Amino acid sequence: MNERILELFQQSPEAYVSGEEISRRLNVSRTAIWKHIEELRAAGYEFEAAPRKGYRLVSKPDKWQVTELLQGLRTKVLGQKVHVYGEVDSTQTIAHALVASGAPEGTLVLAEAQTAGRGRMGRAWHSPAGKGIWMSLVLTPRVPVYFLPQLTLLSAVALCRSIQKVCQVDIGIKWPNDLLIKGKKVSGILLESSGEDERLKYVIAGIGISVNLKVEDYPEELRSVATSLAIESGAEIKRETLVQAFLLEFEELYALYLEKGFSPIRLLWEALSVTLKRPIRTHSPSGVIEGIADSLDDSGALTVITGNGEKIKVYSGDIELR
């Protein structure tokens, strides 16, 4: 039925189609039409509703253009194998399953929408259809498992630099890997891994970038803390271009990391940080820590200097900028 409703709108683009007309032509009730329009809205179609005129199709969801993505891809390994889905629960789940069936390093999973997008620390990730980049990247670095936080920071650097190259926005990294524009979150990274003999067997880097969401695409409770690249830059961004830029940036930094270790990545992270030298608060198992975020150590932990001059390392969790 959704397809048939869309066909009706496509026959008269730009025009209003009344509920009565849809109901007559498709032989369904007005309530059923309303339900289908709501389903299409959830799938990324935008409709304008006007009293006495009916509905007008304003825009269709963006769809991944895989051929275009691959044609403009300048990487050797990352993204050379792409799996594209419409709606999935989480691209992370799919990437884990692909690894189990032998998917090689660089395999990329992209989805238009996620119904159960996973965030860090058990949170959900808002992933509406066609509006963002919801992707998972398979990596197989043979490094010790305790290097994982370094890869988290590397991912944030790659993402931040690629966004700076593609979009005109002032973006920075909040420890460990949230990307913020004017204090609001625009992108998040979730690394999930599996180890063997104390070395990483594989890592799934899950990346969410809120690209073309409008304010009304966010639930009320996220509007004061989250934003999108389009809202902040004032222009729609081509998702394929950003994925290409990210994969290239990641591949270059990853090669540098595997050859030279974490030091060069740490310097880049520090240069992009909106955290260092600022007052922060965090919750640790032993209570609340407040102080000035001072520096990153070699493992990727954040050193915080408290009011009484004590240096405390924060290894995981979230911080609040005060």
**Known binding residues:** 114, 118-120, 185
Token code pair at residue 86: 């419409």
> x/- site string to ligand BTN, residues 193 to 232, per CB under 6 A?
-------------xxx------------------------
Per-residue buried b or exposed e for 18-36, using 16+ beta carbons within 10 Å of the residue's own CB: ebeebeeeeebeeeebeeb
- Confirm if 251 and 75 have CB atoms less than 8 A apart: yes
Q: Which residue of 91, 212, 227, 228 would you call a contact of ligand BTN, by CB under 6 A?
A: 91
Residue in this structure with the two tokens 């289908």, named with its chain if needed: 36
| Cβ-based neighbours of 277, under 8 Å, separated by 6 or more | 292, 293, 294
- Confirm if 274 and 173 have CB atoms less than 8 A apart: yes
Rounded to a whole number of angstroms, the minimum distance from the CB of residue 213 to ligand BTN is 13
> x/- site string to ligand BTN, residues 106 to 145, per CB under 6 A?
--------x--xxxx--x-x-x------xxx---------
Residue in this structure with the two tokens 């509905």, named with its chain if needed: 55
- Confirm if 152 and 123 have CB atoms less than 8 A apart: no
Please state the residue numbers annotated as binding site for biotin: 114, 118-120, 185
Pick between residue 210 and residue 244 the one whose CB is nearest to ligand BTN. 210
Q: Is 54 in the site for ligand BTN (CB under 6 A)?
A: no
In this structure, the dihedral spanned by the alpha carbons of residues 226, 228, 234 and 240, taken in order and rounded to 10 degrees, is 170
Rounded to a whole number of angstroms, the minimum distance from the CB of residue 226 to ligand BTN is 10
Per-residue buried b or exposed e for 159-194, using 16+ beta carbons within 10 Å of the residue's own CB: bbbbbbebbebebbbbbbbbbbbeebbbbbbbbbee
Size of the site for ligand BTN (CB under 6 A): 21
Pick between residue 89 and residue 298 the one whose CB is nearest to ligand BTN. 89
Q: Is 275 in the site for ligand BTN (CB under 6 A)?
A: no
Q: Which residue is nearest to ligand BTN (CB)?
A: 188
Q: Is 189 in the site for ligand BTN (CB under 6 A)?
A: yes
Q: Which residues bind ligand BTN (CB under 6 A)?
A: 90-92, 114, 117-120, 123, 125, 127, 134-136, 178, 188-190, 206-208
